[in-house]
Amino acid sequence: MSISDIIAAQLPYLRRFARVLSGSQESGDAYVVAMLEAIAAEPTVFPDQLEPRVATYQAFLDVWNSVELNHTKEEGTSERLAAADRKLEAITPRARQAFLLMAVEEFSTADTAAVLRTDEAEVKALVDQAASEIAEQVATNVLIIEDEPMIALDLADLVSGLGHDVSDTARTHKEAVAAFQKHKPGLVLADIQLADGSSGLEAVNEILETFDVPVIFITAYPERLLTGSRPEPTFLINKPFRTETVQAVISQALFFDYKARSPNAEGASV
């Protein structure tokens, strides 16, 4: 299998990882492009002796970590960074990488160590460090848009366990918009398919017409939203979800104080 074929198979999920790591679709995609350009210029930098997924993520983080600014807490005028600075002390960059690789991308400890070019003992220490720093985040109130009662209950318990308050749970487009207007939550967890047959994308689009808020979408088919052909949600959680995944994505959304841009619901059949 060629290097291009190896990377192509991993690209949708690598782009998701890049966006969550950087805090925006534009920035994340720019780093992915930089990785592709580096490999095109010098194919030997791609570690093709490794398992394909490990090799792709290692190549990406080699590029990411080559930028000195990504090793430190940045000072500047970026709205994203300024918001993060106001909210809490930045999570240590290398610890954040380890945490996301395991919690969001579901790498094993051994594979995470390979991606980061370290050993399993350091990975475990980095993940513990990230979890401790994440726990210090400022709590917020959360609106859950989910039409399956058991999943909604699981999400509510999980969100509460992370120290946040659940302001309301909505099952339909109409309930979602009404609940948001009533509570003005600091975070929205949104399913795609709702009980009235509408799309969670449509409900979020209406909410975002009048208020900016971080939004995390939940879907069994994330690749359908990661096409690169239209504005995409920065934060996605796969169904069935894991507690660690929800914790990691919520923490990233609140850390960056990410203001969702309205996703295009047209053609999004999920």
Query: What residues contact residue 101 under an 8 Å CB cut-off, 6+ apart?
Result: 17, 57, 107, 111, 112, 115, 116
Q: For residue 230, how many other CB atoms are within 10 A of its CB? A: 12
239 or 187: which leads in pLDDT: 187
**Claim: this prediction has a pTM higher than 0.85:** no
Instruction: Decide if 3-134 and 141-255 have a common fold.
Output: no
d(CA 138, CA 156): 18
Q: What is the mean pLDDT of residues 243-257?
A: 73
Domain ranges in the chain? 3-134, 141-255
Beta carbons of 241 and 250 less than 8 angstroms apart: no
Q: What are phi and psi of 50, to 5 degrees?
A: -90, 165
Instruction: Convert the pLDDT of each residue in 47-104 to its tens digit.
Output: 999 999 999 999 999 999 999 888 775 544 445 444 443 333 457 889 989 988 987 7
Residue 265 pLDDT > 50: no
Percent of the chain whose predicted confidence (pLDDT) is above 70: 79
Domain 141-255 part of CATH 3.40.640.10: no
Instruction: Convert the pLDDT of each residue in 192-224 to its tens digit.
Output: 888 888 888 888 889 988 888 889 988 776 765
Query: What residues contact residue 162 under an 8 Å CB cut-off, 6+ apart?
Result: 246, 247, 250
State the CATH class of domain 3-134: mainly alpha
Residue 36 pLDDT > 90: yes
